[in-house]
A and B are shown apart, each in its own frame.
With several copies, the nearest count.
Chain A
Amino acid sequence: MGNKQEMQELIAKRAAKELTGPCVVNLGIGIPTLVAKFIEDDHVYLHTENGLLGVIDVEEDDIDPNLVNAGKLPVGEAVGAAYFNSAESFAMIRGKHVDAAILGVLQVDQTGSIANWAVPGKNIMGVGGAMDLLVGAKKVIVTTTHTSKDGKSKILKECTYPITSTRSVDMIITELAVFEVVDKTLKLVERMPGVTIEEVREKTEADFTE
């Protein structure tokens, strides 16, 4: 696998393929944010939980400091966009009006549970919209590097960090493979080009079917 950016773009590009419109999608911070630039369907509408439906990229010259996404990064306003307050925004999420969320994780396990908001032993300081998106988005897609910096699998038998929700995610996309979560078990549905089944097995702690 090439450098970090290439790896992230590979994952983001694959995730973008899951998005066929018309649909409303919320993108998390990190790799999920990269997904935006690979979306080909004009009828994918991006929702950001700080209060905008209709997020698009913004050119450097057009940056408005009061127009940002949930990662506080500058964004643009699509034609047909709408603004709303935080309660309305999360009403959309919890009320299952958002079709898909693409999220990063610290860990994901073989039941599809994820941990992406707290690390044991560190101060528990931030949760943001993670838990709301997990209970509310109709489909949750995890995008993550397959292993952590020290080479350990991020796809575990069981999350050791505090979970974000009792709800299982629907799909896990890494630089090596794509898993679907069916009845709280992982199913390997795709390997990235050039990746062998052995490599996936070696780097995945979780049990999965093929």
Chain B
Amino acid sequence: MTKMKKNIEDALSCVEDHHIVMVGGFGLIGAPLTLIDGLTKKDVKGLTIISNNLGEAGKGLGILLTQNKIKKAVGSYFTSNREVGDYYQRGEIELQLLPQGTLAESIRAGGAGLGGYYTTTGVGTQLAEGKEEREINGIKYIFEPAIRANVAIIRAWKADTLGNLVYYKTARNFNPLMATAADVVIAEVDEMVEPGELDAESIVTPHLYVDYIVQAKQILTKEGVVTNGQ
């Protein structure tokens, strides 16, 4: 048994119009560039994208933006793609801005079966407007609901055929969280290994979270994004 899918298109067949899609990565670092590329080639519309950034101008999720496939984006730092502002000004995209820690924690809560939680982050700021405030033991918190998605596309370093994952340095970021919080989870990885080759104590994402694995073909290098042979 293997969760490996040879065909990117096939792996992405679960993504439908108006779906909520989580996309791992901090900018391009740890982003599932191959799967994002697959989405740019797929006929799909009205997506809600949950991701820290919307890529960069013309790169990563930035391409999906210019293809008008994104209805709404939930993230913490859209500033990294200057085109997002233009789309927002023209009313062509809806944005939900969350503090980065709240974005991460809400995704974790979604994966952990929680309804939401109280955080100190953002209390008394513009980003707390409309949010329930509550004092617990003399400290003010705001309520943040859990976040889930229909599909999560993430990037890992190595996977075994069961679906256990480990990550590479700061390319870990949101990926292990998103792996827990979607109905279908697709991981693109640099390297496939056999079960037992990953240390049981060091596996970051146990296989029960992962539905499909694909081979990464788009790689982030010093020189930018490079596409590896088929």
| Chain A residues near B (Cβ < 8 Å) | 21-22, 24, 43, 45, 47-54, 63-68, 72, 77, 79-87, 89-98, 118, 123-132, 135-136, 162-166
Contact = CB atoms under 8 A, between A and B. Distances in A.
Interface in B88-136: 88-89, 95, 97-105, 107-108, 110-114, 119-127
B113 A136 contact: yes
Given A67-B170, A127-B97, 4 more contacts: A53-B208, A85-B172, A97-B180, A123-B89
B206 A125 contact: no
How big is the B interface, by class?
35 or more
A162 B126 contact: yes
B105 A125 contact: no
Shortest beta-carbon contacts, A-B, top 8: A90-B101, A94-B113, A80-B195, A126-B79, A91-B112, A166-B124, A132-B101, A86-B104
Contacts of B167: 83
Contacts of B218: none
Given A65-B220, A129-B99, A132-B99, A91 B113 contact: yes
A95 B200 CA distance: 22
Interface of B: 1, 26-27, 29-30, 52, 76-80, 84-85, 88-89, 95, 97-105, 107-108, 110-114, 119-127, 160, 162, 164, 167-177, 180-181, 195-196, 198, 200-201, 203-204, 206-209, 220-222
Given A66-B171, A85-B173, A135 B107 contact: no
A92 to B, nearest CB: 6
B104 A135 contact: no
Contacts of A63: 222
A83 B167 CA distance: 10
B170 A83 contact: yes
